[in-house]
Structure 1
Amino acid sequence: MHKERGQSLVLGSVFLATIVVSLLYLFNVSQQNLNKTKLQNSADATVISGANLLARDLNFKAYTNRAMVANHVAVAQYVGLSSWGNFAEKTGENIADVTSWIPLVGQITSAVEGVLTAINQVLQPVMKGAVFATDIVNSGLSLSQDLMNAATMVALVETSKNVLEANDSDAYVDIASAVGVGEFLLYDWVDFQGSYDRQDDTGRYQEHFDLITNSVDPFTENRSFSWGFPFSQTIFPDKVNTRQAGGTELFKNGDEAEVWSAMDTLGFHVYHYSCRLTSGCKWRGGEVPVGWGASHAGSDKDTTNYRSDSYYGRSRDINGRASRYAHENEEDINSYYSGLQSFYDISQVEQTNTAPMLTLAISKDKSDITTSSTFNIGTENPDSTRLIDIDIEESVALPRDKLTVLSKAKIYYYRDQSLWGRSDSKWEYGNLYNPYWQVTLNETDNSERVLLTALALVL
């Protein structure tokens, strides 16, 4: 019976070793999973932070583009008011001259002329100052886009580093990913959007130009209308029609600054119905020019350079004679306006709502992960305890001395239909005029993971 003593100790030792190995395995696997989860969360936080910087850059450019468009439209309004001021003063002067011999009426028209002249003498320098101030603001907005673009690229690297360190001080951007981010900034991001000016021939400048001209208010675009009774009436066989015409136009000027040009005219169209043997019966007569004025800002081009009947609210077609005199009473605001400033826009011609995606690979060295080997368990006698020295890596084709995870963020444009009053199925494509660029995490595909594995093994 005494020979059977100690058998349970032997069995217990065997089972104890198995339990220890199992516990160590569970500990190592749990540490691996915890560190992978933490590493993935750190990578997601890092790539989201970087992508938010890029989206903020796009939205900043959208805000500043909108501001520049609004400022150019404001310049059109200032030029239009300048033209209208000259027109009003000249009209008052002409009417006062014609009616000066009429008792009481001449005194009234002379007083009105004095008021209009005084107003215009104040109006013109104010409009020049407004054009000058607006042009300075536009120059600053254009410069701010360049500065923001450069600062974003620098901040992307620094911010990613700081966010990653705050989430996991032992993690780092894998060298393969660092190379990829550099190529992303130098090629993908630069190719996605760029700076454009009047030398552009891709269509971006023309779109910017058209957006500005389509944004002017009705009064600035067309100030043409007919005066009603008693200024327009028919007492057969005579009739008179008093017509005011005017408008403000934006003209290209090659490599030089664009020109905002405005003209305003007033004419009495007097007709008499008569019959002649050679030409029959019809209304005969013409225009009596009453008032005219003009103004321009930008390159040194006055209204004589733009002679189409469709310009200036069809002023040349409506009041042809008065229009011919307009340049004699034209304000020159050239040196106060430098034209359309350079601006950023999306380079791609095809319609899209997605910017290039930012992808990051984050790694963590095996030595920075707490495992059984950290406590020297199973390492004192490796020949006899090799079962305890368990690898923490799962069976994946990655370098054995580190963990690596992949994270990708999508920068996309989305404007809710309720924000622009649409209830149909149409949507707005991505652009740099409305600030609706947003960020979300995006799934990585197998090809990206395979590429990352290959680069990590090589580098």
Structure 2
Amino acid sequence: MKQPILAAKKRSKGIYLVLAALVVVGLAFALLQIVAVAQQAQKRTEIEQVAQYAAEALGTIAARDMNLKAISNRAMIANEMAIGQIIGFHTWYEMTRQTSTNIAMVSAWIPYVNGVTMHIARLLNQLRQPMRTGITSAIALQQMVIRGLSGFQWAFHQAAWLSSIATAVDIVEGSEKDLEIRFLNHQTLLDAENLWLRMQTYSRNRNDQKDYIRMVSDSRDPFSQRRTYRWVDFLNAEVYRAGGSEVSLHRSGNVVWQSLDTHQLHLDLWVTNAYLPLGGGASYLTEPLPTRRNTQGFGDSYQQNWTTSRATTRRSYRFPLQHRAPAYFRLQENGKPPQITLVVQEKVVADEDTQTASAGPLWGVGRVELYFQRPKRFWPRSDEQLEQANLHNALWQVRPKNITEIERELIGAQL
């Protein structure tokens, strides 16, 4: 009876050992699965971070590109304003030259005074031709700068677009050799096309030229806009000095600059008034000055000193230059902040024996958003209005953007 009992005990011990072995194998398998899942999750997180870094790098390049365009757009406007200032200085000089000549003629019979006025008039007249040559050269230089800025914008846009792709590829491949960017992803392609090709346009159409002239006109300094005041008021005699520079667009697309400065003596003779021209200067680029008395602008010179303005515009000086409104980048008004979505995926490695690709490569997605924001605390607007996104203030920044689960599912379905 003892032998069957011992045999049963041995069999039960064997079963326990088998069960224990199965449990150990199961635990080991589960542990391996947990480790594999953890490694896969870690790998997916790494890929996600690489995708986000690459998207942020691409967004930073895009933001810098747009900020550089904003700076160059402002520089073009500033150089255009400089042309108006230069032409205004020329007409101011011409007015001063003619006024000094007239004063020298009137004071020729006054001892001692006539010598001083004659020397001043002679000096200003000797400077006339060198002044015109220098002014013409200065205007031509400003035109070259504007054309250079316009061409620089286009070249930098192309370079930024190409370098952004190369930078993203370098970041991804430099992080992990087995990773690659999926540029054929539908979402990525739309975002890139919208950011670089549709949202920004390099244009010189009529509307863009009008906007350019409007911004230049609104940005004129006080000297260019209006240099009018009364500087003599004695008894019934007043001397008004009036002038200003105006900018407009010719139908050919050329920029029109016109400048006028006048000196006029106003005499109140009780019964009537007398107006005596003292001096004036007028010059223009592209189109002569108007001759109508109801002409607005020019510091109200046509209304204030009409007699002198009429005589001065007839002998205005034309600068022998042609100046076309430049092409420049501007935003399309779609109201949607541009986004950059980048998908990074493991390279599909083919098996050397079966030449079949491994299924289910890991992938990650990163997204950033470009936004325009003016810091109210440090740089508030004078009108306290909300500033819309534009390419004239370098206020473009980049920030991470969340991706919804639905979008992830849609992106994953395309891979």
| Stretches of structure 2 lacking an aligned partner (at least 5 in a row) | 351-357
Q: Which runs of 5+ in 1 are unaligned?
A: 275-283, 369-398
Distance (whole Å) between structure 2 residues aligned to residue 423 and residue 331 of structure 1:
39
Output the CA distance in 1 between the equivalents of 2:381 and 2:183: 47
Distance 1:445 1:307, change over 3 A: farther
* Aligned-partner Cα distance in 2 for 1:112–1:168: 78
Residue 325 of structure 1 pairs with residue 311 of structure 2: yes
User: SS of the counterpart of 1:100?
Assistant: helix
Match of 2:219, SS state, is coil
Corresponding residue number in structure 1 for 2:199: 192
- Residue 249 of structure 1 corresponds to 246
2:146 is the counterpart of 1:138: yes
Number of the residue aligned with 1:226? 230
> 1:405 Cα deviation (Å)?
2.0
Deviation at residue 180 of structure 1 after TM alignment: 4.2
| Cα separation, 1, equivalents of 2:308 and 2:406 | 72
Matched, 1:415 2:374: yes
Give the structure 2 partner of residue 34 of structure 1: 42
C-alpha contact 2:291 2:310 (8 A) present in aligned 1: no
Q: Return the letter of the residue paired with 1:417.
A: K
Moved more, 64-73 or 253-262: 253-262
Aligned-pair identity (%)? 24
Give the structure 1 partner of residue 270 of structure 2.
273
Structure 1 residue 345: Cα displacement: 1.0
Q: What residue in structure 2 maps to residue 281 of structure 1? A: none
Match of 1:427 in 2: 386
Rounded to whole Å, the distance in 2 between the matches of 1:26 and 1:9 is 25
Any residues of structure 2 matched to 1:299-310 within 5 Å, and which? 299=286, 301-304=287-290, 308-310=294-296
How many Å apart are 1:448 and its aligned residue?
2.0
Distance 2:349 2:34 in 1: 18
How far does the alpha carbon of each residue in 1:312-342 deviate from its partner, in whole angstroms, 9 at most, with x for none?
111111111211222354332241x514311
* SS of equivalent residue, structure 1 residue 302: coil
Q: Structure 2: how far apart are the matches of 1:313 and 1:423?
A: 25
Query: What residue in structure 2 maps to residue 388 of structure 1?
Result: none
Partner of 2:342: 360
Number of residues of Structure 1 aligned to a counterpart in Structure 2: 400
What is the CA distance between 1:286 and its match in structure 2? 2.1
Retained in 2: the 8 A contact 1:245–1:314? yes
**For the structure 1 residues 90 and 328, does the alpha-carbon distance in structure 2 shift closer, same or farther, using more than 3 Å as the test?**
farther
Q: How far, CA to CA, are the matches of 2:313 and 2:144 in structure 1? A: 27
The alpha-carbon deviation at position 68 of structure 1 amounts to 0.6
- 1:97-176 correspondence to structure 2 within 5 Å: 97-174=105-182, 176=184
Equivalent residue number for residue 315 of structure 1: 301
d(CA) in 2 for partners of 1:63, 1:424:
22
* Residue pair 1:417, 1:423 contacting (<8 A) in 2 also: no
Distance in structure 2 (CA, Å) of the matches to 1:187 and 1:43: 20
- Residues 214-272 of structure 1, C-alpha deviations (whole Å, 9 max, x = no match): 111111111111113xxx222xxxx1111111100002111231111101111111121
Specify the code of the residue in structure 1 equivalent to 2:216.
I
Matches within 5 A, 1:378-393: none
Shift of 1:45: 0.6
- TM-score relative to the length of structure 1: 0.81
Distance 1:158 1:366, change over 3 A: closer
* Per-residue deviation, residues 195-219 of structure 1 (Å, max 9, x unmatched): 232x333xx4433322211111111
- Aligned partner of residue 266 in structure 1, secondary structure: strand
Distance in 1 between the 2:35 and 2:348 partners? 15
Which amino acid is 1:263 matched to? L
Distance in 2 (CA, whole Å) between partners of 1:14 and 1:367 is: 35
1:11 has 2:19 as partner: yes
Match of 1:395 in 2: none
